[in-house]
Amino acid sequence: MSIKSNEQKSKLNGWKWAFLVLLSIVLGTLFWFFTQMTPVIIGEPNLETQTSRDEVTFQVSTKKDDINQLVASYLKDEKIVKGPVNYQFKLEDQAQLVGTFQLFGKDVQFQLSLEPFVMENGNLQFKTTGLSIGKLNLPISFALNQIESQLNIPDWVAIDSEQETLVFNLNEFTLDSGIHFSVDKIDLAENDIRINVYVPTN
């Protein structure tokens, strides 16, 4: 009788531990998911106008394909991506951030669509307009959190997952040569992009 009783207690203890382990996994997953839903704000839009310097200014008219090649080269040279995940930023009918991010140790494909707007000071703001993540239906703020955690975001890029915007503060970005830029016009439908280039004279 005592042997059966001990066996029953042992089975009950086993089920209790299995239940507690399963419960902790579920609660841990839910906690992680909800922390990923909290807004992420990195930097802020820089509204300052370009200050006058000793420089020559000229305007370059370019196309989407040229910008895509420059951005791809920049992402590769600056090592923006952390680890094995893959990202690509390109201009088509809209701006698109496509690639993969790690979710529960697996690569998940995503495509984030953005509408570009030129700010008054020549900086570039992107408003997210759509998101595709494999077969999942997740909010844009979740994707922005994942992107932020798996990219080395440059100091001149601001992300606000609550407002679902990205801002390229071009007035904070300067090449080693002192050359800097602002955007005058971006019309993706007409493939018309005009960039102001500022070259120091001393």
Predicted confidence band of residue 106 (pLDDT cuts 50, 70, 90) = confident
If DSSP states are collapsed to H, E and C, what string results for 53-75?
A: CCEEEEEEEECHHHHHHHHHHHH
Q: Report, as an integer, the average pLDDT of 54-81.
A: 82
Phi, psi of 57 (to 5 degrees): -115, 130
d(CA 149, CA 136): 19
Question: Does the pLDDT at position 135 exceed 50?
Answer: yes
H or E segment at 116?
Answer: strand 106-118
Q: Report the amino acid identity of residue 116.
A: P
At residue 202, the pLDDT reads 76
Is residue 37 within 8 Å of 141, Cβ to Cβ? yes
118: buried, middle or exposed (CB in 10 Å: 19+, 13-18, 0-12)?
Answer: middle
Question: Does the pLDDT at position 30 exceed 50?
Answer: no
Angle ∠(129,135,136) on CA atoms, nearest 5: 65
At residue 22, the pLDDT reads 60
pTM over 0.95: no
Under 8 Å CB-to-CB from 81, ≥6 apart: which residues? 75, 87, 150, 151, 152
At residue 190, the pLDDT reads 93
Q: Comparing 40-44, 147-151, 174-178, which segment has the lowest mean pLDDT?
A: 147-151
At residue 89, the pLDDT reads 85
